[in-house]
Structure 1
Amino acid sequence: MLILILCLFLDSLLAMLFCLIINILAGFLVWQKVLAIHPNHGVIILEPKLFRFEGEGLKIQGEISKKSRFYGNNIWLHIKGFSNNHWLIISANGVNEQSYARLKRATLSAINCVLESK
């Protein structure tokens, strides 16, 4: 954002073009990252102490961690896997009401269990 603002005050056309190209590239990379953690299709399997997601070439398995959050109608899940961690965004309008309620309940349970153990 700072580069975009600075671009407005530059005198050189070459510097403005460079800033514009950098901003477009950064925007594209961020958009690809958001699309990677916000899948359109997939299956969520909730088991006690275990979360699994299988979708278009993406398989995630692990525990829902305390870093998971709720933002509006989205659940941002932080999954602690066996070898690495993943972020996954699930929208309320992407699943049926009952599945969303179960996922929200499981996420709240995971967050509260960690807070109660402290």
Structure 2
Amino acid sequence: MSAACATGQHDKHDVYAELCPCRGLLDLIANKWTTLAVGALENGPLRFGALQRHMEGISPKVLTQTLRRMQDAGLITRTVYPAVPLHVEYELTAVGRSLTVPLRGLRDWAEKHLHEMNV
């Protein structure tokens, strides 16, 4: 059985504890669209349309929701450039960039082991 999750900023957390706030973060970063968005933004900022083209199969609504969640969590920044039409770019923050290696490993693992899985 897990111990209760700490509430202080620098206290030890336990994702197995029911009320641990880490679970919300884990839910965000384990989401397939977040994983793909981090990979798409790995090489630098992209506009919404470029992200949508890179992430085949994502609807504009789901991409918007994913980007908002990522921005709210501090994984990306959204920069609006005053132009006509507006030019908006999304870019990984430092903490977002720290996710690139583990999430790349997860994507690589999925591609390598797909043939062994029943999905």
Question: TM-score, structure 2 length as denominator?
Answer: 0.26
Question: TM-score, structure 1 length as denominator?
Answer: 0.26
| Largest Rg, 1 or 2 | 1
Higher strand share: 1
Q: Which one has more relative contact order, counting CA pairs under 8 Å at least 6 apart?
A: 2
